[in-house]
Amino acid sequence: MGIRISLFAIDVPAIEEFATHSLGYVMQYYARHAETGQLGLYFNMPESGSYGGVPGRNVYYVVNKKSGYLTEQQVEKNAFLSTPLNQHLVSENTYAFYFLLSRYARLPMIDWVTTISDGHRRWWIGTYLDYAQTVLGKSAAYDRFVSLLQRILSGHNCGTILPPEQTILAIPFSLAPINNLDLRMNFWTPDESAFLCQTIRYLMNDNPAKFEKPLNEVDPDVNYEWNEVIEVLQEILVLETPALSNRLVISFIG
């Protein structure tokens, strides 16, 4: 699979309020509302073992080589499952937060998280920045554009030469996990997302034909790299919609 990037738009006050619920509530809610057959939502215990909400069932546990489903009464009395979600997320690594967002984004009744892009390779950034430089040249707009895309790379390369990284900014979000090493997490503010979308629109208007997905009947993989660029750009431009324009964008790469 290789290194992949995912982007989510979140309503910060709404998710922070939701995160006051217990882990048991969060898993049971997911198990009751997700479609049967979808992936479960699991949280690991500090020492060993895990619990997860399984769609169409209830909370499943694997602890001390024992496993099975809990009754609602057992969920209510379980000390680990009584832990508030916000407390658990902050103390865990970023995988727990990624799984929460990716699972809950699939629930139609949940509006505090929206998947913007999930699972694309990082190389589209280098390909697109090379093109952007031919249009923007050496300018403040290009420098800011680079810095924002560089931020979601979080130290990974993208196939093109980038300037030295700027000071790492703290994620403006109370649920940001302490451990951000393996699955690296970063962000764009609403103003930064607006600038990105405006710049993407400007680059598209400069050469509209280049942003029509190319077709190659002989070998469809010839244009794969640029096809992926176009696909990701269209996903990012969803941030222009009024419902998402004021949201914090959370990125993951790993």
**For 59, phi and psi rounded to 5 degrees?**
-85, 125
| Secondary structure element (H or E) that encloses residue 52, with its range | strand 50-53
Q: Are residues 75 and 59 in contact, defined by beta-carbon separation less than 8 angstroms?
A: yes
Measure Cα distances from 119 to 92, 106, 212, 239, 253 in Å: 22, 15, 22, 18, 9
Report whether 216 contacts 223 (CB < 8 A).
yes
* Percent of residues, the chain, with pLDDT higher than 90: 81
Count the neighbouring beta carbons within 10 Å of the beta carbon of residue 91: 13
Tokens encoding 189: 């503010």
Which residues is 185 bridged to in the sheet? Answer: 252
Residue 178: the pLDDT is 87
Q: What is the pLDDT of residue 218?
A: 42
Q: Which run of H or of E encompasses 24?
A: helix 23-33
Which amino acid is residue 84, in one-letter code? Answer: P
* Residue 68 CA from chain centroid, whole number: 30
Whether 225 and 211 have beta carbons less than 8 Å apart is answered as no
133, HSE (Cβ side, Cα atoms, 13 Å): 12
CA distance 188 to 250: 7
Q: What is the pLDDT of residue 209?
A: 67
Distance CA 128, CA 199 (A): 12
Give every residue of the chain whose pLDDT is below 70, as ranges.
1, 209, 212-224
One-letter amino acid of 22: S
Partners of residue 253 on adjacent β-strands: 5, 184
Give the pLDDT of residue 106: 97
Q: What are the pLDDT digits (tens) for 105-152? A: 999 999 999 999 999 999 999 999 999 999 999 999 999 999 999 999
